[in-house]
């Protein structure tokens, strides 16, 4: 879990996507030059990314209500912390997966005139968009978990300033 006050930023996700994409491209290029085929893709992954994003969205709603002061039921603080950790993990994983799929697209670009490769590139593009949606959902739920006011210290005596003024 990223413990910075502002959490995970978009530029970190872009950096993760670029680093993973670059490393993936190198590894996939070595695999392809060895005569092996690229890993196969499946439409099932799109549904998995959507299911993960929806699950995270549903898990984050009670935390959003609590932070906004509209909670109808008490919420365990551990639940809120876990939702925040899941949101940040989803954002980072989504960015890494985008890098993985974009690396495969870049590797297929020289063969873009072959219809089967075009179909494969479209599938990879849709998978990358779905993974980016998972990352965006992670950022959104992270934002929902943010407390704008710093917590007050319950042991601090607020009357001290008034006594000094007298």
Encode pLDDT of 73-89 as tens digits.
888 989 999 999 999 99
The continuous run of DSSP H or E covering 135 comes out as helix 115-144
Its pTM surpasses 0.85: no
Statement: residue 64 has pLDDT above 60: yes
User: Does 15 reside within a domain?
Assistant: yes
Residue 162, in any domain of the structure: no
Across all residues in the chain, what is the average pLDDT? 88
pLDDT at 151: 55
Residue 36 belongs to a domain: no
Chain centre to alpha carbon of residue 34: 33
Do the domain assignments include residue 76? yes
Is residue 74 one of the residues assigned to a domain?
yes
- The pLDDT tens digits of the residues spanning 20-50 come to 999 999 999 999 888 888 888 888 999 999 9
Q: Quote the domain boundaries for residue 87.
A: 10-28+42-148
When divided into structural domains, the chain yields a total of: 1
Give me the pLDDT at residue 162, please: 52
55 domain residue, yes or no? yes
Domain membership flag for residue 133: yes
4: which DSSP letter?
S
Task: Give domain status of residue 33, yes or no.
Answer: no
Q: Which residue has the higher pLDDT, 133 or 69?
A: 133
Of the candidates 13, 38, 53, 19, the one whose C-alpha atom is nearest the C-alpha of residue 123 is 38
């Amino acid at each position: 879990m990223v413990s910075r006050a502002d959490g995970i930023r978009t530029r970190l996700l872009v950096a993760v996507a670029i680093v993973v994409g670059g490393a993936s491209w190198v590894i996939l290029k070595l695999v392809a030059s060895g005569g092996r085929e690229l890993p196969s893709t499946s439409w099932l992954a799109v549904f998995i990314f959507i299911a993960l994003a929806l699950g995270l969205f549903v898990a984050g709603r009670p935390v959003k209500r609590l932070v906004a002061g509209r909670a109808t039921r008490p919420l365990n603080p551990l639940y809120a912390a876990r939702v925040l950790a899941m949101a940040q993990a989803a954002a980072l994983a989504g960015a890494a997966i985008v890098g993985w799929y974009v690396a495969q697209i870049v590797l297929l670009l020289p063969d873009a005139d072959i219809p089967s490769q075009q179909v494969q590139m479209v599938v990879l593009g849709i998978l990358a968009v779905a993974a980016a949606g998972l990352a965006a959902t992670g950022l959104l739920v992270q934002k929902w978990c943010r407390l704008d006011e710093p917590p007050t210290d319950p042991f601090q005596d607020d009357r001290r300033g008034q006594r000094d003024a007298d």
